[in-house]
Amino acid sequence: MRIGDAKQSYEADEAIWTSSTQKFWFAVFLLVLAVFPFVADAYLLYIGCLVGIAVISTTGLNILTGFTGLISLGQAGFMGVGGYTVAWFSLHTALPFPLTLLLAGLLTAAVGILVGLPSLRVKGLYLAIATLAASVFLHFIFAEWQAVTGGMGGLSLPPAHLFGLTFQSDFEMYFIIVPLAVVMVLAAKNVFRTRTGRAFIAIRDRDISAEILGINLLRYKLMSFALSSFYAGVAGGLFAYFYRVVTPESFPLSLSIFYLAAVIVGGMGNLLGGILGAAFMTLIPEMLNLLTATLTPFYPNAPVFMSPMLGIIFGALIVGFLIFEPNGLGEIWQRVRRFFRLWPFRN
Amino acid sequence: MDWLFFGEISLAGLAMGGLYGLIGLGFVIIYKATRVINFAIGEIMMFAAYLFLAFAGGMEMSPWVALPLAVLGGSVLGGVIEKVMIRPMLGESSISVVMVTIGLASILVGLVELGWGADPQLLPEFLPRKPVFLGELYLAPKIAYGFLIGATLLLVYLLYFRFSRGGVALRATASDQAAAYSMGINVRRVFNLAWVFGSLAASLAGVLVAATGGLSPQFGAVGLSVLVVVIVGGLDSILGALIAGLFIGWLETVAGAYLGGQYRMPATFAVLAVILVLRPYGLFGTHEIERV
Amino acid sequence: MFKRFLTRGLRLAGIGSVAAALMTAAPVLAQDKEPIVFGGSIPLSGVFAFAGVHIHAGLTDYTNWINSQGGINGHPVRYVMEDTGYEVDRSVAAFKKITGSNRVPVYYGDSTGFMKTIASELNSRGTTLMSGASFATALTDNQTYPYQFIPGPNYTQMFGIILEYIAMQGQEGDKPTVAFVYSDTEFGKDPIENGKAKAAEMGIKVVEEIVTKPGSVDVSAEVLKLRRARPDYVVFHGYILSPINEFMVQMRQMGLDTQFMGTFWSSDKLIIDRMGADADGYMGVMPYNYYDSAEGGPMLEALRSQAQKSDPDAGYRPTAYMQGWFNAMVWTEVVKRTLDAGKELTGDNLAASLASIQDWDTGGIIGVPVTVRDMSFPVGRIWRVNAKEASYEPVSDWIHLN
Amino acid sequence: MILECDLTTTQAVGSDVGAASGKTEHNKNILEIHNLSLSFGGVTALRDVSFRVPEQGITTVIGPNGAGKTSMFNCISGFYQPQQGSIHYQGKPLTGVKPPARAALGLARTFQNIALFRGMTVLDNIKLGAHVHMKSGLLASLAYFGPARREEMAVRREVERHIIDFLEIDHIRRQPVASLPYGLQKRVELARALAMRPKVLMLDEPVAGMNREEKEDMARFILDIREEWDVTILMVEHDMAMVMDISDHIAVLNFGQVIAEGLPADVQNNAEVIEAYLGTRDMDSLRHKLNPESEVA
């Protein structure tokens, strides 16, 4: 317990950052994010943008799977809907990027609601498989609806633009992706300070009791699907602007599993954990490359033998976290924080 | 309409469907006893097929020695998986357990790449090559003989579960874990046995499927078709797995032949979607009553 | 199997040791001139790894060879690569990392997806010319991809070469029929529309068109379709191995005497290694001479001796190795032409140098002098598997499309 | 102040059952159950059950284990759909009204096996009870500042002042519910039901598994709630001492049927009830009856 954190008002008590120390560190964090693109090299900047997109998508999936307890294997498909929406509007209209991204989010939310419809009748794994079916259908549509999606070859799109400015380089895209990621994570945090978020968690913990306590299950499950897919759609839209190409092969099933893994490794039902998970999982291949490069001088065929390790590490992380650290990186982070708060008085 | 063609296509599909039924059986055994949905079943199949490749190809054993060895290897793998990864997850939410099997799938793919490389492989031939004709209907020999071997194991399994002690224990555990426990059945052992038996069926099917289609670290994708089979049939119904296996195998092949290969997955997943909406617990599955 | 596993490891160790040696060897050769960097996103793992390791070997060996020849106009060559797992986002990451810390005039891209994705960045930078594993038709569009070229014929051109060959086989007045079998991927679908148009133009009838998933699938039903269509030729595209083998074996079991053909990535020796006697008679279109072909030429000899030197136990080198080597050869030629003209190594200048290539003698890698058209080398030859010799033998002359 | 008042009530009820229940008997019935039948497959859970719940009173449904009491609650909550019969609430049939709508109408409840949301704090669990009375939609929630925050703060104020203080759980409001002892969990569940602003508060075995002290606390809370909140209480309970002490009206269920209904004193002397409880058919409830303190959850 900290000294002096008694609150004068309920508003202050329910704020996201309840102490000035927390506010200070958040401000520092924002400052770092703002300065980063000016000091980072092209490679780090690119990775930074990738992490930003992954954070948005992971947060969306966390809302659905982590907080509402509805497992989804359709995240990549939803991102694809967002990506193609942005691509189509960029090619056929002159809409600026905030509008195309909004449309991407909304259209994906609509698709999410459609996919979520069976969620009242089917639960748990059956629902997961329904989302898997959705991703199969979406992939089929991406590949076959030639007129709109460009078929297997996909679509190439012009850069994002707003008020005559275009956002083309990673440096420019960073200023779209990262602020959006921050805003969207904060918005998700807000949801869990209100009745909507409580309803999601109640459904996850005990859906039947939640219903008897006055929560309309279908309504909130669909709302969770919509919200989650909105995030996925925006992430997919950013993906499209970032790479400027969308093809059916950009959104494979393995990407859905990647995001599920990010949620698990980060911590289901923990927004901060989700962010950590997204960053961590995005960085793993890069860390592995680094390790390979370090090993190569001593062990020349390191690249060939290290590469399959990625799959093994990826799987081992999922299994290991589930068995040994089911609350994920978010929980580890809390432990570290507690340690430093009490340090050096206790260890 | 060319009925002979339709007949041949259907036959090919049903033969493949028989193998799906066998894999579905492996899936259902594990689910019935332990309530675990095993997303790694395709990768277990793949692992056994690579073992076969190692024994029959690399070590140049007779395929008829290599086949049982590979299948045995696959079942041991199933047992080890249960002990190491599934048992610690007892009592956790089903989502978590499923994710463990997804993680496991990724590990198995990595291990296979490490051991055998990423190159596509062909299994040494061990099935007769002489074309099979049923009346006027042509059937590719590999799938015909594959079907026969699969069907034999299936029959053995059904008899085993009906009459043997282990089979009874398995069935008892499946119908009521607590009751089985109080009757002195070693439930943990049964869990382990279920994984061994389930993986055994999957392993045999894995070798047979790889023998017809070839092998690569991406082989596990066949697990998706199996998922459709068991959901349509009902996760806890052996009969459901067999019938749905035949049906899905047939549908996949007919859709592929008449509409094009890109329609195989959407066609079966459309059936899956309809089943999920109309009978979420599958055609033959048990509907569980929920309690507050 | 353990023995094979071991030899595979040793072979790879050989490749690696050369790569390591290169880091230290390059500065020795430097004649105080700035090194020229060959960059590469190389798929050492993932679904394309079987080719990636050999592409890597080809690029590595070429780099060593050219440095032993004094580099390019006295500039030493440095090959800098990173593994991508054949995933686009990692390929892009590798590109950013490598181009971030080096000036990279030429770069190897590992997939069509990557090549398309990186195009906008490449165009806005204008510093780098790129080629790679992709023979995608779309990349020959110079408007959209001004800095990307194809180290051979694109897939449409490969179909063109195959169709020309087929047309030549027909008895008078009687054109053979053909069926296309391709995978349900971007790679697989690439040349199909153009291929059908070309066939129609040449009066060759496409009697069946079959789409399958790539890799391990049961194709019995598709075989039954082909059995009814009875094409004289079946052209595979978008596969590496499976299910080509299964089509061939099953159709022959039915007593059909169809001729089977495939495009570049389906014409590796892997097919012979895995299928054995069943591969006999299979034909592929290949722009380069096979490593073990009877052809000769100074460059082909140099390649063989360099390959021999880098890994004496490896023996045969697959087409992916040839492909890697040829890419590097073209880069060298282009850089050399640009330097000779006294120009800077910019994307535009390099592209212009490439376009200027006419009747270029590749020293036996390609059997005829080649001319660049639309950023590709539209040349190739039909080869046929002789299973007894375990090799491909040429059955046509070099076909140079116009 | 509260403490004083409820002690006297308990004593009064204990000493003179008739007097306590007499005052509510004339009130009209807020809930009427008519000929309710419910079965699962071949198993009959309720058979032709009828009874009434007088407004403002404490009505208790008793009966041996498996008599259908919880099924009864589930029918009233709308979670089970009875095959026959009807439930009238404030004179109107509830047929076809979905569970969340019933909650909004003022039917609140607790659960036999505590159904708190383990992933939330005590405070959030209680606030969840106010869900049906809140309006913020998804967009307001995302924005937070503005209507959503105003509403949240209003609910927080209400919950803090009227419920958390009242049930004496201020010290645990920030704790996750999973870490609380059983008795406190039961109290948090009661708090959550109160946050639903109930007209009828349904309590499923509110003192099961509690020690004597906790039971007395709970009885006191129940009586206070009835007094201060103008609530009708419908309760399922095994603890006969408490049931007889605080109930105004009792319905006895056995094998899915109502075998007696009326004032505690009447029910106590009913031959069939004695048969049901003292007869050898149900050892479990006999044990409860003879030695209520030894009960463990």
Q: Per residue in C209-228, pLDDT tens?
A: 999 888 767 888 888 889 88
Q: Give the phi and the psi of residue D226 in degrees, each rounded to 5.
A: -60, -45
Q: Domains of chain C (ranges plus CATH)?
A: 2-152+295-371 (3.40.50.2300), 155-286+381-400 (3.40.50.2300)
C14 falls in which pLDDT band (50, 70, 90)? Answer: very low
Looking at residue B90, its amino acid is L
User: For C168-203, what is each residue's pLDDT tens digit?
Assistant: 887 766 788 999 999 988 888 889 999 999 999 888
What is the value of pTM for the model shown? 0.87
Write out the DSSP string of A262-324.
Answer: HHHHH-TT-HHHHHHHHHHHHHHHHHHHHHHHHHTTTSTTHHHHHHHHHHHHHHHHHHHHHHH
* Alpha carbon of residue C105 to chain centroid: 21
Phi-psi region of C307 (alpha: psi -120 to 50; beta: other; left: phi over 0): alpha
Residues with Cβ < 8 Å from B119, sequence gap 6 or more?
B216, C49, C50, C270
Task: Give pLDDT, residue D2.
Answer: 37
D15 falls in which pLDDT band (50, 70, 90)? Answer: very low
Q: Look at C381 and D15; give whichever has higher pLDDT.
A: C381
Helix (H) / strand (E) element for D100: namely helix D99-104
Output the CA torsion sign for D134, D135, D138, D142. Answer: negative
* Alpha carbon of residue B118 to chain centroid: 23
CA dist., res. C107 & res. C39, Å (int) = 4
Task: Give pLDDT, residue A346.
Answer: 53
Looking at residue B104, its amino acid is L
Q: Is the pLDDT at A343 greater than 70, yes or no? A: no
D19 falls in which pLDDT band (50, 70, 90)? Answer: very low
| CATH code, domain with A254 | 1.10.3470
Task: Give pLDDT, residue D278.
Answer: 58
Measure A202 CA to nearest chain D CA, in Å: 6
A208 and B290 within 8 Å at the Cβ level: the answer is: yes
B256 and C274 within 8 Å at the Cβ level: the answer is: no
C382 falls in which pLDDT band (50, 70, 90)? Answer: very high
| Rg value, chain B, Cα | 19
Torsion of CA C266, C272, C276, C278, to 10 degrees: 40
Instruction: Kindly state the tokens that stand for A161.
Output: 């633009």
Compare all CA atoms of chain B with the CA of A138 and give the residue at the minimum distance: B266
Q: Is the pLDDT at C21 greater than 50, yes or no? A: no
B118 falls in which pLDDT band (50, 70, 90)? Answer: confident
Which residue of A64, A72, A323, A325 to mutate against B (max B Cβ within 10 Å)?
Answer: A323
Q: Look at A87 and D24; give whichever has higher pLDDT.
A: A87
Q: Which of A169, A170, A163, A183 is nearest to A30 (CA)?
A: A183
Q: B283 in a domain, yes or no?
A: no
User: For D266-283, what is each residue's pLDDT tens digit?
Assistant: 887 777 777 776 554 455
Q: Say whether the D–C interface has 3 or more Cβ pairs within 8 Å.
A: no
Helix (H, G, I), strand (E, B) or coil at A69: coil
Q: B120 in a domain, yes or no?
A: yes
Task: Give pLDDT, residue C174.
Answer: 77
Task: Give pLDDT, residue A201.
Answer: 93
Helix (H) / strand (E) element for A245: namely strand A245-246
Chain B CB contacts of D112 under 8 Å are 292
Q: A24 in a domain, yes or no?
A: no
The number of domains in chain B is: 1
Tell the residue number behind the tokens 């905030």, with chain if given: A98
Contact B30, B39 (CB under 8 A): no
The DSSP symbol for B139 reads E
Q: Which of D287, D276, D253 is nearest to D61 (CA)?
A: D253
Separation in Å, CA A71 to CA A62, A63, A225, A344, B96: 9, 10, 10, 42, 10
| Average pLDDT rounded to a whole number, residues B71-79 | 95
CA dist., res. B89 & res. A322, Å (int) = 8
Task: Give pLDDT, residue B285.
Answer: 80
CA dist., res. B222 & res. A259, Å (int) = 22
C20 falls in which pLDDT band (50, 70, 90)? Answer: very low
How many residues belong to chain B? 292
Helix (H, G, I), strand (E, B) or coil at D173: coil
User: For D50-106, what is each residue's pLDDT tens digit?
Assistant: 888 888 889 998 887 777 888 888 899 888 888 888 899 988 888 888 888 898 888
Please check whether residue C345 touches A, CB under 8 A.
no
| Average pLDDT rounded to a whole number, residues D176-182 | 86
Measure A257 CA to nearest chain B CA, in Å: 8
Q: Look at C358 and D258; give whichever has higher pLDDT.
A: C358
- Asked which of B179-183, C51-55, D4-8 is least confident by mean pLDDT, the reply is D4-8
A5 falls in which pLDDT band (50, 70, 90)? Answer: low
Q: Is the pLDDT at A121 greater than 80, yes or no? A: no
| Average pLDDT rounded to a whole number, residues D113-126 | 87
Chain D CB contacts of B289 under 8 Å are 40
Which domain, by its residues, includes A214? Answer: 40-342
CA dist., res. D255 & res. D68, Å (int) = 7
B178 falls in which pLDDT band (50, 70, 90)? Answer: confident
Compare all CA atoms of chain C with the CA of B214 and give the residue at the minimum distance: C216
Contact A55, A185 (CB under 8 A): yes
Q: Is the pLDDT at B291 greater than 60, yes or no? A: no
Which residue of C216, C227, C254, C273 to mutate against B (max B Cβ within 10 Å)?
Answer: C216
**Cβ burial, residue D212 (10 Å; 0-12/13-18/19+):** exposed
Per-chain mean pLDDT for chain C: 86
| Average pLDDT rounded to a whole number, residues D145-151 | 86
CA dist., res. C76 & res. B282, Å (int) = 67
Instruction: Kindly state the tokens that stand for A320.
Output: 């290991």
Q: Is the pLDDT at A128 greater than 90, yes or no? A: no
Contact B169, B190 (CB under 8 A): yes
Return the percentage of chain B with pLDDT > 90, whole number. 33
Compare all CA atoms of chain B with the CA of A70 and give the residue at the minimum distance: B95
Residues with Cβ < 8 Å from C28, sequence gap 6 or more?
none
Give chain C as a 3 state SS string: CHHHHHHHHHHHHHHHHHHHHHHHHHHHHCCCCCCEEEEEEECCCCCCHHHHHHHHHHHHHHHHHHHHCCCECCECEEEEEEECCCCHHHHHHHHHHHHHHCCCCEEEECCHHHHHHHHHHHHHHCCCEEEECCCCHHHHCCCCCCCECECCCCHHHHHHHHHHHHHHHCECCECCEEEEEEECCHHHHCCHHHHHHHHHHHCCEEEEEEEECCCCCCCHHHHHHHHHHCCCEEEEECCCECEHHHHHHHHHHCCCCCEEEECHHHCCCHHHHHHHHHHCCCEEEECCCCCCCCCCCHHHHHHHHHHHHHCCCCCCCCHHHHHHHHHHHHHHHHHHHHHHCCCCCCHHHHHHHHHCCCCECCCCCCCCCECCECCECCEEEEEEEECCCCEEEECCCCEECC
The number of domains in chain A is: 1
CA dist., res. D91 & res. D70, Å (int) = 23
Write out the DSSP string of B66-88.
Answer: HHHHHHHHHHHHHHHHIIIIIGG
Task: Give pLDDT, residue A7.
Answer: 64
| Average pLDDT rounded to a whole number, residues D3-17 | 36
Task: Give pLDDT, residue A192.
Answer: 92
Strands B137-139 and A160-162: unpaired
| Average pLDDT rounded to a whole number, residues A79-95 | 94
D287 falls in which pLDDT band (50, 70, 90)? Answer: low
Other C-beta atoms closer than 10 Å to the C-beta of C310 total: 20
Q: Look at B291 and B245; give whichever has higher pLDDT.
A: B245
Q: Is the pLDDT at D112 greater than 80, yes or no? A: yes
Separation in Å, CA A249 to CA A50, A337, C182: 17, 41, 16
CA dist., res. A49 & res. A44, Å (int) = 9
Looking at residue D101, its amino acid is A
Omega before A344 within 30 of 0, i.e. cis: yes
A304 and C96 within 8 Å at the Cβ level: the answer is: no
Tell the residue number behind the tokens 């009925």, with chain if given: B3
Q: Is the pLDDT at A173 greater than 80, yes or no? A: yes
Per-chain mean pLDDT for chain A: 87
Which residue of C5, C7, C44 to mutate against A (max A Cβ within 10 Å)?
Answer: C44
Q: Is the pLDDT at B275 greater than 50, yes or no? A: yes
Task: Give pLDDT, residue B143.
Answer: 84
Q: Is the pLDDT at A336 greater than 50, yes or no? A: yes
Chain C CB contacts of B254 under 8 Å are 221
Most confidently modeled of A40-44, B15-19, C327-331?
A: C327-331
User: For D237-248, what is each residue's pLDDT tens digit?
Assistant: 888 888 888 888
How many residues belong to chain D? 297
| Average pLDDT rounded to a whole number, residues B20-38 | 89
Q: B146 in a domain, yes or no?
A: yes
Q: Say whether the D–B interface has 3 or more Cβ pairs within 8 Å.
A: yes
**Number of residue pairs across A and D with CB atoms under 8 Å?**
105
Q: Is the pLDDT at C356 greater than 60, yes or no? A: yes
Q: Which of C211, C210, C235 is nearest to C225 (CA)?
A: C210
A85 falls in which pLDDT band (50, 70, 90)? Answer: very high
Q: Is the pLDDT at A87 greater than 90, yes or no? A: yes
Task: Give pLDDT, residue D295.
Answer: 41
Per-chain mean pLDDT for chain B: 87
CA dist., res. B262 & res. C213, Å (int) = 7
Write out the DSSP string of D45-69.
Answer: EEEEEEEEEETTSEEEEE-STTSSH
Which domain, by its residues, includes B115? Answer: 15-219
Q: Say whether the A–D interface has 3 or more Cβ pairs within 8 Å.
A: yes
Which residue of A184, A198, A270, A334 to mutate against D (max D Cβ within 10 Å)?
Answer: A198
Strands D84-89 and D92-93: antiparallel
| Average pLDDT rounded to a whole number, residues C36-62 | 89
Other C-beta atoms closer than 10 Å to the C-beta of D157 total: 12
**What residues are paired with D54 via a beta bridge?**
D29
Task: Give pLDDT, residue C311.
Answer: 85
**Cβ burial, residue B60 (10 Å; 0-12/13-18/19+):** exposed
CA angle, corner C93, sides to C89 and C99, nearest 5?
140
Q: Which of A78, A49, A56, A55 is nearest to A256 (CA)?
A: A78
Tell me the CATH class for D1-106+198-297: alpha beta
Task: Give pLDDT, residue D24.
Answer: 43
Strands A155-156 and A245-246: antiparallel
What are the sequence ranges of the domains in chain D? 1-106+198-297, 115-197
User: For A219-259, what is each residue's pLDDT tens digit?
Assistant: 999 999 999 999 999 999 999 999 988 988 889 888 998 99
Chain B CB contacts of A312 under 8 Å are 106-107, 110-111, 114
| Average pLDDT rounded to a whole number, residues D243-262 | 85
Residues with Cβ < 8 Å from D92, sequence gap 6 or more?
none
Contact D5, D220 (CB under 8 A): no
Torsion of CA D182, D186, D187, D190, to 10 degrees: 170
Q: A2 in a domain, yes or no?
A: no
Separation in Å, CA A54 to CA A30, A62, A75, A226, B292: 18, 12, 11, 18, 38
C254 and B138 within 8 Å at the Cβ level: the answer is: yes
Nearest to A315 among B106, B269, B273 (CB): B106
Q: Look at A167 and A289; give whichever has higher pLDDT.
A: A167
Task: Give pLDDT, residue B290.
Answer: 55
Q: B150 in a domain, yes or no?
A: yes
Per-chain mean pLDDT for chain D: 79
